[in-house]
Amino acid sequence: RRGAKAGSLPAVAQDGSQKQQHVPPPAPTLLVNGLNWLHFADHIFEKVNPEMEKLGFECKCLGGGKIDHNSKDKKMRVFGLSTVSGYGKADHAVTVEILKKVYRDYEISWSDDKK
């Protein structure tokens, strides 16, 4: 972070799709980004990073994975890893804790499953 206010950022950015890639950004400010129209962690990072830099943040991708989002049943499952982009697996336990702060009435779980 370079002089930006963390309070100006949403903790979670999702487009509401059923399954999307996710990229959690670095500490001390952690964000979860899941955008179905961007299929790989590097594509999400390339889209989000310039916007974050404009706000004064210095960003690094800590890993990736997928979020299976079922808005009807209010359930999410975090799993998988970034294989194509080479970022590896994000810390899914941390991702789930961030998601739970925003989706308080959801059942949210994670696993090391690849699918």
Query: How many angstroms separate the Cα of 73 from the Cα of each of 11, 20, 63, 69, 94?
Result: 22, 17, 27, 9, 22
pTM, rounded to two decimals: 0.69
When divided into structural domains, the chain yields a total of 1
Q: State the residue range of the domain holding 54.
A: 6-110
**Cis previous bond, 25, omega within 30:** no
**pLDDT under 50: residue ranges of the chain:** 1-7, 26-27
Does some domain include residue 115?
no
pLDDT on residue 42: 79
What is the C-alpha to C-alpha distance for residues 99 and 103, in angstroms, rounded to an integer?
Answer: 6
pLDDT on residue 23: 56
Does some domain include residue 15?
yes
Here the CATH number for the domain that contains residue 58 is 3.50.20.20
Does some domain include residue 1?
no
